[in-house]
Amino acid sequence: MKKTILGFVLLILAGPALARPLVGNAQAGKDKSSICMGCHGIPDYRTAYPHVYHVPLIMGQQQAYIAKALHEYKSGARSHPSMRAVAGSLSDQDIADIAAYFSRGSK
């Protein structure tokens, strides 16, 4: 019984720590962002897959927005096939790092 109560107490105390978002490392994000820059770093770039699509520049975008978008592509909540494939290969730490890098606003 004591172990059960202790387990619940530890779970309650650890809950907030587990819910904290990962802290991104901008330098690590720069090292991981080459695949992103191939499209999102080219002014007025358009892709023809799956249709002609204007690719937005994301340098300087808010960190939370970039992370949220990547998580949504990874989960399938957003449906661009190329972005889903890229985001699907990223860990949560990769996403946090890439978002930190792009939110800095300069290359």
pTM strictly above 0.85: no
pLDDT tens for 52-86 read: 889 999 999 999 999 999 999 999 999 999 999 99
Peptide bond into 50 cis (omega under 30): yes
Q: Which of 13-22, 43-52, 78-87 has the lowest mean pLDDT?
A: 13-22
Q: Which tops the pLDDT comparison, 102 or 22?
A: 102
Q: Judge whether residue 20 has pLDDT over 50.
A: yes
- Classify domain 24-103 by CATH architecture: Orthogonal Bundle (1.10)
CA Rg value for the chain: 18
pLDDT band at 3 (very low <50, low <70, confident <90, very high): low
Mean pLDDT, residues 21-49:
92
- Spell out the domain ranges in the chain: 24-103
